[in-house]
Amino acid sequence: MTAQVIDGKAFAAKVRAQVAEHVDRLKADHGITPGLAVVLVGEDPASEVYVAHKHKATVEVGMASFEHKLPTDTPEEELFALIDQLNADPAVHGILCQFPVPDHLDERRTVARIDPAKDVDGLSVTNAGLLATGGKALVSCTPLGCLMLLRDQLDTLSGLNAVVIGRSNLFGKPMAQLLLQQNCTVTIAHSRSQDLPGICRGADILVAAVGRAEMVKGDWVKPGAAVIDVGITRTEHPEKPGKTRLVGDVDFDSASEVAGAITPVPGGVGPMTIACLLANTLTACCRAHGLEEPEGLTA
């Protein structure tokens, strides 16, 4: 068996096109433009690149983009004052603070300051609680993207056995909750799990998110399973001395001989993250104005 490779880049482009179409309708029918505010504290080069990508993507779908760049030594009270201002601004429907922040700032306190209705990263305790209890949460972007890929790939998720390797608040826990909402039977595996390969072999859906390069081997995968690889690690290239390559948590070559479908790294889950950030901003905007939420772009 050779797995179907799930093209996350193409699917993300489809999601962005759906968002852009809905944004056009909001402007034409209601005079509303969804707005996303991104706050960057400090001068981390990687963060600056991410913020630039988010700005570009936001503008391309017709949304308003508000960038706020603060010095590295910005005191907490100044950051919080800006967040309070954005919370109160009706033109801003989504707020994202780019992490990591400088050491003197606390990420949890920063997330808690953002209005949960504008928390398009889905990181707040309120949104986590809403997700866990079946409420209308804004869901963390990467798990939401994985769910979209699975729903597109599989006829139904209901009744399937799903294994999520990883229990982080950012991904593992919300991913498990999303799969549970789809009526999957869900197992969360982690570093203390006994017989991890055996647990994985029972999965119709296997989601790996631990950050260990090529840890999941082909003989861990149930024949025909859908494999979602969230990990990304830069390693030495085996055939090009001095060069590096990006790999995931799954040994793609061996797993793709067994799985029914699999995401590659790069080009799988990664492109979905910004697409789902835009989808979340659109959803937050619709909720703020009491309008129908975009079909297919929410959990």
For residue 297, pLDDT beyond 70: yes
Q: What is the mean pLDDT of the chain?
A: 96
Identify the band that residue 230 occupies on the pLDDT scale cut at 50, 70 and 90: very high
Model pLDDT, residue 77:
98
5-31 pLDDT tens trace = 999 999 999 999 999 999 999 999 999
Q: Is the pTM of this model over 0.85?
A: yes
For residue 215, pLDDT beyond 90: yes
Residues annotated within the binding site are 166-168, 232
Q: Which residue matches tokens 């306190």?
A: 109
For residue 199, pLDDT beyond 80: yes
Model pLDDT, residue 236:
87
At 251, give phi and psi (nearest 5°): -70, 95
Residues annotated within the binding site for NADP(+) are 166-168, 232
Mean pLDDT of 34-46: 96
Which active-site residues does the annotation give? 54, 98, 121
Identify the band that residue 1 occupies on the pLDDT scale cut at 50, 70 and 90: low
Question: Which domains does the chain carry?
Answer: 31-116 (3.40.50.10860), 141-271 (3.40.50.720)
89-116 pLDDT tens trace = 999 999 999 999 999 999 999 999 999 9
Mean pLDDT of 62-84: 98
Query: What percent of the chain has a predicted confidence (pLDDT) above 90?
Result: 93
For residue 286, pLDDT beyond 70: yes
Model pLDDT, residue 250:
98
Mean pLDDT of 218-235: 96
112-162 pLDDT tens trace = 999 999 999 999 999 999 999 999 999 999 999 999 999 999 999 999 999
